Each structure stands twice: as C-alpha cells, then as structure tokens.
C-alpha cells in the first residue's frame, strides 16, 4: 500500500489530537484478527466517550500486497480524520465573511474592475482584476493585477502586475474612431484563468481588445511565463464574422474531466456603443494543456431575438455536456443558455432561462458538488431602474447581487440568497477544497452610472449560510 498523503486534509487541532489518541486504541490482536480474515474494519475508540465506532466502513483487503500494522494504523487514522472532518462540515454553523481586496483610488489606480478568482490544485487562491488608471472607460490605461492566498482566503499577499507584452503597441482603431482612448494609453483587458488538474495555472488576456495572449504558471500562480500571442486562433473566425474587437471571458475558464480547456469569448464589429457592439460569442479550446488553441463554433449570433450576446461562462454537467450561460441585450432580459457535447461545436439553439434574469451584466457559474448535484450562479438580481427607463433589453441598475443554487444541473434554481443588496455588478465564483464558496464582486459604486466600483470584495461563505441550514440534499 502506498504512503497516505495527508496534504489535502484540514482539521481542527482538537480533531487531530482525538484521532491520534484513537489510533492508540488499535492493538495488535485487533490488527492481526482483521488481517487474517482478509477484511479491514476500521473502528476507533473515542478517548472522551469510550464509544467504539465504525469510522470507515468495511473494505475487502487486496490479496497481493500485505497490509502492515503501520499502514493499517495510518489508514485507520486517515479514515477517522476524514470522517470527523466530514461530520464537522455537515454540522457547520452558517457563516459569511467579507474583506475588500482591491479598493478604488489606491496605489495609483482610479478603480479596479472585472474580478476573477480560482482555486488551484494545491488549494491556493488567485484573485485578479483590471486595475484602471482612469474611470469611465474600458479603453484607458489598464494593468492586470493578482493577489495570492495560501490559507483559504483569510489573508492575501500584495497585488502584483502579471500582464506585460514587450515591444511597440498599437491602439485599436475602433476605439480611436469613437474617441474612447488616447494614443499613449495601453489597455490590458479581460483576464481569464483556469486551474488545470495537473497543477498548471493557465492565464489568457487581451491587449487593446485586438490581440490575445497566453501564459502559464507552474508554481501555483507565483510567477507566469512570458506571454505567447494566440491571436491567430481568433483570425480563424474572420471568414464567418469580420471582427474588430476580441475579448476572452472574463472570469474563470473551464477544464473538462477529459482535460480539454475551454474559454468563452466574444467578438464585435466595434461600430456600436463603446465599440463593443454588435457582438457574437463562442469558445476557444485547447486539447494539449494550453500549448495550442483552436476556435469553436459561434454559439449565439446577433439577431433580432438574440441581441449582442457577449460575456459568458460555462460549466460541465454531470452527464458530460457543457452548458453555456450568456449575457445579452435581448428583450426578455433573461440569460441565454446553450448546450454542447464537447464545449466547442454542435451547440443547441440558444434559449432564455426564465428564472435567471438579465440586467445586462457579467454573471458567474460554477459547480459546488457533483454528488449530490449542486450548481451555483451569481449576478445582480434586479430588473428595475431608478430612472424608470426599464425598456425591454436595456440594462438595469446593477445592484442586489445574489447567489442561486440548483440541484438539477441548472434546470431550476430554487435557492436564492442576497449577497450584497446595494450597488453591485461583475462577479466570479470559486470553491475551496473544503467546500467554502468564494465570490469576488464589484460593489459600492461612486458614480450615478454604476460603473465606478468603490471596491472588489471577497465573500467567503458556506452552504449552510446559502441555504439557511436547509440544504435540500
């Protein structure tokens, strides 16, 4: 039997002491008796209650390797610890904690927007955003910053810039045509990260909404490789859609169980409002852990029914399909949904989800658990406007950001909990190894247009808080 890896186990000190004392109750006769029968029954005596209980079930011993007493004790201790951790998690009291990670008008930046967050294979948390030198424009001088946590999001290191492309840079002509930027400004935008199953962190970002780059980290996000341009992947869309503006994500990307990396993207002709309209969306994907990238099919075209589909997020369903969840400016003011077997091609006809309202804003979607099925969705849960101009398809006031929970793979969303009742907008979700839910979101706007976010706040909360202790499963 190979050595048991305890690196992913988290427990309170009291639980640790209890399992150590419990392991001492395993005597030679107990080990010998169970070893000879070919079955392992993991029982530990609680030193406080003297209760002898079955903590790990019964397991048939493999016939070939001999199970040493040392490994038997280690297995018992490990199983006991996991059992106590599971029981502790089941009995957890509802909690929510909030802390500001990026605050406007600090460190030389006017504001911070476009949050993203992932949990790496090793359990580290990476929280990132666009750090903008001036407010009111996606096209002004912007850096991409990240903060790193190794304690479950309780503390973070200082922000650092992670996107830099060497050499001369050109402004996007569509932004200059609309006087959205100056020639001496440099905008890095729409950062996306994916935590690979193999431990690599994949990082994609755009430059001037005109070029796209890829970098990777092999040290848990502490450093990133020199970025490699992958704009050629987007050039393959031109025969079908002659874009002038490209954008990845934003937020987190997706890795399928079989390894494929998927990044939602949107493209625009750049002739409409803010040079972001009209637009369509799609995915790009990699089957070799980021070494090369391919284009997928256009998922939602711009039509009279589906107006300016753009920022989207994707999740893998338990049966293997990929669900694509998109923002748009369509008249129903509902999220658009499409499905694909591979996350790249043969998408179903998009449809509006009646429960998921669309104030015209980025949303986030992630899996909390597979067995039982739990999906999480977050966006501003509001369809009103303070000025009364709630025209179908128009944007609504960005406020009342709320987390939803689905037990049936996104078909229905019976649980909704308000995370921030006041002004709040873009957000991204992640889940730690112990099941703690993380949401990094914009809030506390300083301007009437609700675009000047006062801070990016990280909320840490558990399932008990979300469900008021009444989880269906």
**261 alpha-carbon distance from chain centroid:** 14
Is the model more confident about 76 or about 384? 384
| DSSP of 431-470 | E-TT--EEEEEEE---STTS-S-SEEEEEEE-HHHHHTT-
16-25, 83-92, 378-387, 445-454, range with greatest mean pLDDT: 378-387
d(CA 104, CA 157): 18
Q: Please say if the pLDDT value at position 54 is more than 50.
A: no
Q: Please say if the pLDDT value at position 66 is more than 80.
A: no
Banded pLDDT at 74 (limits 50, 70, 90): very low
Banded pLDDT at 136 (limits 50, 70, 90): confident
Beta-bridge partners for 189: 206
Q: Is the peptide bond before 153 cis (omega within 30 degrees of 0)?
A: no
Structure tokens at 468: 């008021």
Mean pLDDT of 361-389: 97
- Tell me: the pLDDT tens digits for 418-428? 999 999 999 99
Q: What pLDDT is stored for residue 450 in this prediction?
A: 55
Q: Where are the domains of the chain?
A: 13-90, 96-467
Structure tokens at 287: 């089957």
Q: What pLDDT is stored for residue 472 in this prediction?
A: 87
Count, residues in the chain:
473
Q: What pLDDT is stored for residue 421 in this prediction?
A: 96
Q: What pLDDT is stored for residue 445 in this prediction?
A: 80
Q: What pLDDT is stored for residue 4 in this prediction?
A: 36
- Tell me: the pLDDT tens digits for 301-325? 999 999 999 999 999 999 999 999 9
d(CA 383, CA 402): 13
Q: DSSP code of 143?
A: E
Helix (H, G, I), strand (E, B) or coil at 30: helix
Nearest to 276 by CA among 284, 268, 287, 266: 268
**16 alpha-carbon distance from chain centroid:** 31
Query: What predicted TM-score, i.e. pTM, was given to this entire model?
Result: 0.82
Q: Please say if the pLDDT value at position 131 is more than 50.
A: yes
Mean pLDDT, the chain, rounded, equals: 85
Q: DSSP code of 300?
A: B
Q: What pLDDT is stored for residue 473 in this prediction?
A: 74
Structure tokens at 208: 């001037």
* 379 within 8 A of 364, measured Cβ to Cβ: yes
Q: Please say if the pLDDT value at position 268 is more than 80.
A: yes
Torsion sign over Cα 152, 154, 158, 164: positive
- Tell me: the pLDDT tens digits for 282-291? 999 999 999 9
Structure tokens at 149: 């946590």
Q: What pLDDT is stored for residue 238 in this prediction?
A: 97
Q: What pLDDT is stored for residue 91 in this prediction?
A: 57
Banded pLDDT at 28 (limits 50, 70, 90): very low
d(CA 25, CA 47): 9
* 18 within 8 A of 47, measured Cβ to Cβ: yes
Classify residue 278 by burial, with Cβ atoms within 10 Å: 0-12, 13-18, 19+: buried
* 147 within 8 A of 157, measured Cβ to Cβ: yes
Residue identified by tokens 């301007």 is 447
* 253 within 8 A of 311, measured Cβ to Cβ: no
d(CA 378, CA 241): 30
Mean pLDDT of 243-266: 98
- Give residue 360's region: left, alpha or beta (phi > 0; psi -120 to 50): left
Cβ contacts of 87 within 8 Å, gap of 6 or more: none
HEC string for 315-358: EECCCCCEEEEECCCCCCCEEEEEEECCCCCCCCCCEEEEEEEC
* 353 within 8 A of 337, measured Cβ to Cβ: yes
Q: What pLDDT is stored for residue 449 in this prediction?
A: 58
- Tell me: the pLDDT tens digits for 324-348? 999 999 999 999 999 999 999 999 9
Instruction: List, as own/partner pairs, every contact residues 384-392 make where C-beta atoms lie below 8 angstroms and the sequence separation is at least 24, other chains included.
Output: 392/331, 392/332, 392/333
Cβ contacts of 210 within 8 Å, gap of 6 or more: 170, 172, 231, 244, 245, 246
* 136 within 8 A of 452, measured Cβ to Cβ: yes
Q: What percent of the chain has pLDDT over 90?
A: 78
Q: What pLDDT is stored for residue 7 in this prediction?
A: 40
Mean pLDDT of 406-410: 98
Q: DSSP code of 433?
A: T
Mean pLDDT of 77-88: 41
* 393 within 8 A of 307, measured Cβ to Cβ: yes
Q: Please say if the pLDDT value at position 26 is more than 50.
A: no
Give how far Cα 361 sits from Cα of 137, 200, 222, 401, 462, Å.
Answer: 16, 30, 31, 11, 25
Mean pLDDT of 74-79: 43
| DSSP of 202-259 | EEEEEETTTEEEEEEESSTTSS-PPPEE-HHHHHTTTTT---SEEEE-SEE-EE-TTS
Classify residue 305 by burial, with Cβ atoms within 10 Å: 0-12, 13-18, 19+: middle
Structure tokens at 23: 């392991």
Q: What pLDDT is stored for residue 30 in this prediction?
A: 36
Banded pLDDT at 451 (limits 50, 70, 90): low
Residue identified by tokens 């980021």 is 290
Q: What pLDDT is stored for residue 452 in this prediction?
A: 76
Q: What pLDDT is stored for residue 10 in this prediction?
A: 37
Mean pLDDT of 231-253: 98
Q: What pLDDT is stored for residue 447 in this prediction?
A: 63
Domain 96-467 carries which CATH code?
2.120.10.10
């Amino acid at each position: 039997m190979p050595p048991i890896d305890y690196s992913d186990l988290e427990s309170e000190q009291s639980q640790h002491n209890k399992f150590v004392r419990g392991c001492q109750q395993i005597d030679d006769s107990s080990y010998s008796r169970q070893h000879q029968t070919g079955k392992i029954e993991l029982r530990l005596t609680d030193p406080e209650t003297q209760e002898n209980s079955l903590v790990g079930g019964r397991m048939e011993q493999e016939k070939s390797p001999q199970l040493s007493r040392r490994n038997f004790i280690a297995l018992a201790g490990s199983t006991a610890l996991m059992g106590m951790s599971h029981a502790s998690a089941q009995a957890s009291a509802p909690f929510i904690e909030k802390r500001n990670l990026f605050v406007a008008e600090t460190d030389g930046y006017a504001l911070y927007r476009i949050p993203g967050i992932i949990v790496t294979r090793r359990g580290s948390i990476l929280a990132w955003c666009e750090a903008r030198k001036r407010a009111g424009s996606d096209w002004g001088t912007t850096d991409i910053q990240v903060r790193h946590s190794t304690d479950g999001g309780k503390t973070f290191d200082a922000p650092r810039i992670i996107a830099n492309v060497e050499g001369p840079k050109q402004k996007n002509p569509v932004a200059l045509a609309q006087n959205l930027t100056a020639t001496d400004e440099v905008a890095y935008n729409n950062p996306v990260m994916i935590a690979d199953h193999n431990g690599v962190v994949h990082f994609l970002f755009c430059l001037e909404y005109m070029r796209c780059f890829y970098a990777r980290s092999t040290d848990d996000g502490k450093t990133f490789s020199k970025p490699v341009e992958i704009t050629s992947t987007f050039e393959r869309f031109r025969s079908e859609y002659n874009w002038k503006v490209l954008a990845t994500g934003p937020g987190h990307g997706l890795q399928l169980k079989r390894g494929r990396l998927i990044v939602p993207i949107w493209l625009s002709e750049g002739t409409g409002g803010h040079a972001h309209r009209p637009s369509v969306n799609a995915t790009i994907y990699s089957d070799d852990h980021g070494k090369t990238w391919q284009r997928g099919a256009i998922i939602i075209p711009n039509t009279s029914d589906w107006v300016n589909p753009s920022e989207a997020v994707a999740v893998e369903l338990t049966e293997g399909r990929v669900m694509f969840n998109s923002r748009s400016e369509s008249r129903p003011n509902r999220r658009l949904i499409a499905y694909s077997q591979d996350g790249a091609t043969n998408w179903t006809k998009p449809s509006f989800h009646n429960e998921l309202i669309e104030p015209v804003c980025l949303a986030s979607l992630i899996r909390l658990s597979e067995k039982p099925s739990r999906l999480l969705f977050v966006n501003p849960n509001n369809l009103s406007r303070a000025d009364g101009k709630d025209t179908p398809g128009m944007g609504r006031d960005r406020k009342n950001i709320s987390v939803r929970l689905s037990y049936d793979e996104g078909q229905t969303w019976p649980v909704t909990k308000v995370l921030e009742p006041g002004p709040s907008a873009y957000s991204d979700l992640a889940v730690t190894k112990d099941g703690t839910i993380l949401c990094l979101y914009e809030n506390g706007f300083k301007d009437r247009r609700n675009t000047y976010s006062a801070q990016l706040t990280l909320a840490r909360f558990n399932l008990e808080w979300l469900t008021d202790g009444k989880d269906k499963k």
